[in-house]
C-alpha cells in the first residue's frame, strides 16, 4: 500500500482572499495558503506588495490530492471564478499584484495549464483574449497570519460581502459536486 501524496498548485487571480475561500471548500484540497510569488523582494509584506512595485502576485498555494481532484479540474474552477482577460486587474483591484497567473511546479503542470488556456480560447469561453501568465513557480512567501481563512473569519466585511462572497457562491453553484461534503 502506497502513501497518499499530495501535489501543489499555485494560482493567482486577483485578491487572494477570494481564491483561498473557494479552494478551501474544494473536495480533495487539504490546504490553501495565501501568499506572494513572482517578485524580486525577499519576504515581502502585504503593504509592500500592495504598493505594486515588488513584482509579486497575490496567490494561493493549494495542496491537493490528485486521486480526488486533478490539476486540470482545479484550473477549471480557477478560470470560472475570476476574469482571466483583464491584465493586472480583477474588478476594482488594480495593479500587477492582482494579475491572473498560474505558477507551475512541474513540466506536467505547465503543459496542462497551457493546454487549458488554449482550449478555453478555442471554445470562445471569454469575450476577450486570456491574459493569464504561466510561469515556473519561484519562492512562495506565505502571507501574514491575519490573511489565513480570511473570508470565514471576516465574511461580514463589505469587501467580503461584495467581492469574495459572489465568487464563493458562483463556485458553489457551478461546482456543487466538487465541494467538501458534497
Q: Which of 136, 75, 77 is nearest to 106 (CA)?
A: 136
SS3 of residue 111 by DSSP: helix
H runs (alpha helix) in the chain: 16-23, 46-50, 71-81, 107-123, 150-154, 158-159, 165-174
Distance CA 182, CA 180 (A): 5
Determine the Cα–Cα distance for residues 156 and 179; give it in Å rounded to an integer. Answer: 22
User: For this structure, is 18 an active site residue?
Assistant: no
In angstroms, the CA 89 to CA 7 distance is 28
DSSP code for 117: H
Largest CA distance in the chain: 50
DSSP 41: S
Enzyme catalytic residues: 15
Amino acid at each position: 500500500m502506497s502513501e497518499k501524496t499530495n501535489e501543489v498548485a499555485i494560482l493567482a487571480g486577483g485578491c487572494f482572499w477570494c481564491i483561498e475561500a473557494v479552494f478551501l471548500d474544494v473536495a480533495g484540497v487539504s490546504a490553501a495558503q495565501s501568499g506572494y510569488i513572482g517578485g524580486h523582494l525577499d519576504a515581502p509584506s502585504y503593504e509592500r506588495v500592495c504598493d505594486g512595485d515588488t513584482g509579486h502576485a497575490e496567490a494561493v498555494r493549494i495542496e491537493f490530492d490528485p486521486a480526488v481532484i486533478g490539476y486540470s479540474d482545479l484550473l477549471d474552477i480557477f478560470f470560472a471564478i475570476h476574469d482571466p482577460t483583464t491584465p493586472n486587474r480583477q474588478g476594482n483591484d488594480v495593479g500587477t499584484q492582482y494579475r491572473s497567473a498560474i505558477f507551475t511546479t512541474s513540466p506536467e503542470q505547465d503543459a496542462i495549464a497551457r493546454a487549458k488556456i488554449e482550449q478555453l480560447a478555442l471554445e470562445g469561453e471569454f469575450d476577450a483574449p486570456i491574459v493569464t501568465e504561466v510561469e515556473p513557480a519561484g519562492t512562495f512567501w506565505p502571507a501574514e497570519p491575519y490573511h489565513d481563512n480570511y473570508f470565514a473569519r471576516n465574511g461580514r466585511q463589505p469587501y467580503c460581502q461584495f467581492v469574495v462572497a459572489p465568487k464563493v457562491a458562483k463556485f458553489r453553484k457551478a461546482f456543487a459536486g466538487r465541494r467538501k461534503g458534497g
